[in-house]
Chain A
Amino acid sequence: MSRAFLAILQRDLVLATRAGGGGELALVFFLTLVVLVPFALGPDLNLLSRIGPAILWLGALLSVLIGLDRLFQSDEDDGSLDLIRSSALPLELAVLAKGLAHWLTTGLPLALAAPLLGLLVALPAEAMLPVSATLLVGTPALSFIGAAGAALTASLRRGGLIVPILVAPLTVPVLIFGVSAANAAIGGTIPFLTPFLILCALSLIALVVGTIAAAVALRQAE
Chain B
Amino acid sequence: MENLACRRGGRLIFEDVGFRLGNGEAIALTGRNGAGKSSLIAMLCGRLRPEAGVLRIEGADDAPLQELIHLVGHRDGLKTSLSARENLDFAQALLGDAALPADAALERVGLAHIAELPVGYLSAGQRRRVALARLLVSRRPFWLLDEPMSALDISAQAMLTGLMEAHLGEGGAILAATHGPLGLDGATEVRIGP
Contacts and interface: CB of A to CB of B under 8 A. Distances in A.
Contacts, number: 81
Nearest to B140: A86
A78 B78 contact: yes
Nearest to A87: B94
Interface in B1-33: 8
Contact of A221 (B49, B78, B93): B49
Contacts of B94: 4, 7-8, 83-84, 87, 89
Interface in A1-29: 3-4, 6-8, 11, 14-15, 18-21
Nearest to A80: B77
Nearest to A86: B66
Contacts of A88: 67, 96
Nearest to B97: A88
A7 B82 contact: no
Interface stretch (B68-76, B105-113, B151-159): B68-76
Contact of B77 (A7, A8, A79): A79
A107 B81 CA distance: 23
Interface residues of A, number: 26
Given A7-B93, A83-B71, A14 B86 contact: yes
A82 B49 contact: no
A85 B77 CA distance: 12
A78 B67 contact: no
B48 A221 contact: yes
Contact of A83 (B8, B77, B80, B86): B77
Interface-centre pick from B46, B47, B67, B82 (highest chain A CB count, 10 A):
B47
B66 A85 contact: yes
A83 B49 contact: no
Interface residues of B, number: 30
A100 B117 CA distance: 28
Nearest to A74: B79
**Which of B8, B82, B95 has the largest count of A CB atoms less than 10 A from its CB?**
B95
A21 B93 CA distance: 22
Contact of B81 (A3, A19, A77): A19
B45 interface: yes
B168 interface: no
Contact of B93 (A3, A18, A86): A3
Q: Provide the main secondary structure of the chain A interface.
A: helix
Given A86-B45, A88-B67, A78 B95 contact: no
Contacts of B80: 78
B81 A18 contact: yes
A82 B79 CA distance: 13
A78 B79 contact: yes
B71 A86 contact: yes
A222 interface: yes
A80 B90 CA distance: 10
B69 A86 contact: yes
Nearest to A7: B93
B81 A11 contact: no
A222 B89 CA distance: 30
Interface string B97-139: 0000000000000000000001000000000000000000000
Given A6-B93, A222-B48, 19 more contacts: A3-B93, A4-B94, A11-B86, A11-B90, A15-B81, A18-B82, A18-B118, A79-B71, A79-B74, A80-B78, A80-B79, A82-B77, A83-B71, A83-B94, A85-B46, A86-B69, A89-B94, A222-B8, A222-B47
6 contacts: A3-B93, A18-B118, A78-B78, A80-B78, A80-B79, A221-B47
Interface of A: 3-4, 6-8, 11, 14-15, 18-21, 77-80, 82-89, 221-222
Closest 8 CB pairs of A and B: A79-B75, A7-B93, A79-B77, A18-B81, A221-B49, A87-B94, A83-B77, A86-B66
